[in-house]
Amino acid sequence: MARTLDEVVTAVATQLMAVNAATNAAVSQRVLAELVGHFGVDVSFLRHNDHNIHATKLIAEWPVRTDIPDPDPLALVYFADADPVFAAAENAKEILVFRPEPATDDYQRRIEEARNIPGVTMAVVPMLSGDVTTGCLGFVKFGDREWTPEELNALKAIASLFAQLQARIAAEDQLRFLAEHDDLTGLNNRRALIAHLDQRLAPGQAGPVSALFLDLDRLKAINDYLGHTAGDWFIRVFAKRLREGAEGPNLIARLGGDEFVVVPDSPMTADEAEALAHRLQMMLRERVSIDGEMLTRTVSIGVALGVPGRDTTSDLLRRADQALLAAKSAGGNKIAVFSDDMSLKGGFRNDIELHLQSAIENGALVLHYLPEVDMRTGEILAFEALVRWQHPTRGLLSPNAFIGVAESINFAGELGRWVMRAACAEFRTWRSKGIGDDAVLRLNVSPVQLVTEGFVKTVADTIEEFGLDRGSVCLEITESVVVQDIETTRITLAGLKEAGVQIAIDDFGTGYSVLSHLKSLPVDTLKIDKSFVRELGTNQGDLAIVRAVIALAESFGLELVAEGVETEEAALTLLRHGCYRAQGFLLSRPVAGDAMEALLAQRRIPVQFSAAPVR
């Protein structure tokens, strides 16, 4: 049965929706085959423009040519060498239709005869992203063919579906690369290291798995005296030597600053790992010339082993870190292998472990709140509860200091329940005074909580107990958790959704893993991680990422919140690109409960960038 043009466009949309980078070519080819059939043309192709190298790249074609020469002359075509049709596709904004001239004139006829090709009709449909032509769809009919305006409109709609897909895949690729690599050295980053160790330490893997935790001694002095450029340069040289000397195969990661981890691929005893550490240390001690000065920096190394099926990634990294601390506190330029009594010295950690339980009982935990604002108007749209610990001797502790410990001692559930109850109770008090009626309470959830039995019910019951409507509570989860146990997570999120609770992905962009699941998870909001936002306005790389995330959010129909807006430039840049929800020190610091109540009563925070373009 012949399909209407609308049905054809809808069918294309449906097929392209689930495509990712890996399936793009195959699905595109299938769609082209259907279009060839539907429009009764002979050839169809999809090409992407690469404006960096001024070329167009073949993505899919139908029918697939037989006997494609190697290299394929059509695979990558530089606009400079292209025939006029391809060249026109570089910046075309409107559909171009080429039809054979009626072969009345002698010249034309002679050309056709000489080339032995009949006149062809060709429709080139540009793919557009904003004002950039990102590629084209081509349809070739041997002989003459008329395209009706309705057909051309359908082609336009189809090209725009392909353009959206292309933008989404580009954004995904970019985020994925960024998520796995360290900018400065090109080494793996923390996330890649953790993924690798998770896999190596799974039950049944060969072990023991050794981790060497390296730290440059006194790098700070180079930064302080020679400047950051010199410090960066030094780190790059160090990374290069490490790559050359680490006796691969192995995984080498930079954890930020001057910390590196080497994980050899082959299982090792503690003695073997220590011997490797000594060889590395010798090699890394060689001098480096910076600005004509010869510098040496010694390195301290902590060594630890993990047994697959018994130890977790965080066990292993914590031990290696403790061994490193021991090496450093022995004066640096040392190697230490983890031993059990070192763990007793993790004093701070122990202290936290011991006192966390009583902190809850003694009311030493407090909540601060961070408003989330519509930057166009200053209106407070939501507020995020952030837990703090008023520690008797250590002062006000930030969650980063104790949440990790709580998780490792199976205490996250209890902590999370306290936070949820305390925040809901406070919110109810405000609501009972008619304050904060339109605002949403955002709560951070620990990964472990999410996969705990009965979590959905606890959440639903708590919200009900405090008489809050469920739509005014949103749970924030971090990316990594979503993926660790995707099936359980999916069920939990679906349950939460059904219970009417909103869901946000926190710190978005720092882990790529959730991207592939984003389409299938019931998520309402993405929060762009502050590391991409802080330098907006000065850092072009960050801007590219943020634009990619904005595009992703749009294509999935999600709300978007920028975290960590500290400067007016960042705020203006976000507004300019269509992201207006934000939180950050420019708008407000986290504040205590009574201050939050006062802000909510006022309903808005005066926004300082009055020149902001209102969209």
- Cβ atoms 374, 578 nearer than 8 A: no
Considering only 24, 250, 300, 446, the residue that binds ligand C2E (CB under 6 A) is 446
User: What distance in Å separates the CA atoms of residue 467 and residue 300, rounded to the nearest whole number?
Assistant: 56
Q: Which does 239 bind (CB under 5 to 8 A by kind): Mg ion, ligand C2E, none?
A: none
Considering only 506, 551, 562, 607, the residue that binds ligand C2E (CB under 6 A) is 506
Q: Which does 258 bind (CB under 5 to 8 A by kind): Mg ion, ligand C2E, none?
A: none
Considering only 208, 231, 306, 564, the residue that binds ligand C2E (CB under 6 A) is 564
569 binds ligand C2E (CB under 6 A): no
Q: Which does 583 bind (CB under 5 to 8 A by kind): Mg ion, ligand C2E, none?
A: ligand C2E
Q: Which does 302 bind (CB under 5 to 8 A by kind): ligand C2E, Mg ion, none?
A: none
Q: Which two tokens stand for residue 257?
A: 């600053």
583 binds ligand C2E (CB under 6 A): yes
The secondary element (H helix, E strand) that includes residue 601 is: helix 593-602
Q: Which residue, 19 or 463, has its beta carbon nearer to ligand C2E? A: 463
User: What distance in Å separates the CA atoms of residue 206 and residue 209, rounded to the nearest whole number?
Assistant: 8
Q: Which does 584 bind (CB under 5 to 8 A by kind): Mg ion, ligand C2E, none?
A: ligand C2E
Amino acid at 300: S
492 binds ligand C2E (CB under 6 A): no
Q: Which residue, 222 or 370, has its beta carbon nearer to ligand C2E? A: 370
509 binds ligand C2E (CB under 6 A): no
**One-character DSSP codes across 328-383:** HHTTSS-EEE--HHHHHH-HHHHHHHHHHHHHHHTT-EEEEEEEEEETTT-BEEEE
CB of 533 to ligand C2E, least distance (A): 8
User: What distance in Å separates the CA atoms of residue 422 and residue 416, rounded to the nearest whole number?
Assistant: 10
Q: Which residues contact 418 (CB under 8 A, 6 or more apart)?
A: 360, 365
Q: How many CA atoms lie within 13 A of 535 on its CB side?
A: 9
Beta carbons within 10 angstroms of residue 467's beta carbon: 11
> How far from chain centre, in Å, is Cα 598?
35
CB of 452 to ligand C2E, least distance (A): 12
Phi, then psi, of 227 in degrees rounded to 5: 95, 165
405 binds ligand C2E (CB under 6 A): no
413 binds ligand C2E (CB under 6 A): no
Q: Which two tokens stand for residue 47?
A: 């090409």
> How far, in Å, are 120, 384, 609 from residue 97 at the CA level?
10, 54, 48
Q: Which residues bind Mg ion (CB under 5 A)?
A: 444, 476, 506-507, 563
- Contacts (CB under 6 A) with ligand C2E, residues 518-557: 530
Bridge-based pairing state of the strands 591-592 and 299-306:
unpaired
Q: Which does 370 bind (CB under 5 to 8 A by kind): Mg ion, ligand C2E, none?
A: ligand C2E
CB of 419 to ligand C2E, least distance (A): 4
Q: Which does 403 bind (CB under 5 to 8 A by kind): ligand C2E, Mg ion, none?
A: ligand C2E
User: What distance in Å separates the CA atoms of residue 487 and residue 521, rounded to the nearest whole number?
Assistant: 11
403 binds ligand C2E (CB under 6 A): yes
Q: Which does 472 bind (CB under 5 to 8 A by kind): Mg ion, ligand C2E, none?
A: none
Considering only 60, 590, 597, 600, the residue that binds ligand C2E (CB under 6 A) is 590
CB of 205 to Mg ion, least distance (A): 32
Which strand ranges, in their side-by-side order, compose the sheet holding 96-98?
76-78, 55-62, 43-50, 132-142, 120-129, 96-98
* Tokens 């195969």 found at: 249
208 binds ligand C2E (CB under 6 A): no
User: What distance in Å separates the CA atoms of residue 316 and residue 197, rounded to the nearest whole number?
Assistant: 9
Considering only 215, 426, 563, 597, the residue that binds ligand C2E (CB under 6 A) is 563
359 binds ligand C2E (CB under 6 A): no
Q: How many CA atoms lie within 13 A of 82 on its CB side?
A: 19
399 binds ligand C2E (CB under 6 A): yes
444 binds ligand C2E (CB under 6 A): yes
CB of 146 to ligand C2E, least distance (A): 58
Which span sits near ligand C2E by CB under 6 A: 176-184, 206-214, 496-504, 581-589?
Answer: 581-589
Q: Which residue, 264 or 416, has its beta carbon nearer to Mg ion? A: 416
- Cβ atoms 533, 584 nearer than 8 A: yes
User: What distance in Å separates the CA atoms of residue 209 and residue 425, rounded to the nearest whole number?
Assistant: 47
Which of 503, 528, 360 lies closest to 443 in space, CA to CA? 503
Contacting positions for ligand C2E (CB under 6 A): 370, 386-387, 398-400, 403, 416, 419, 444-446, 476, 506-507, 530, 563-566, 583-585, 590
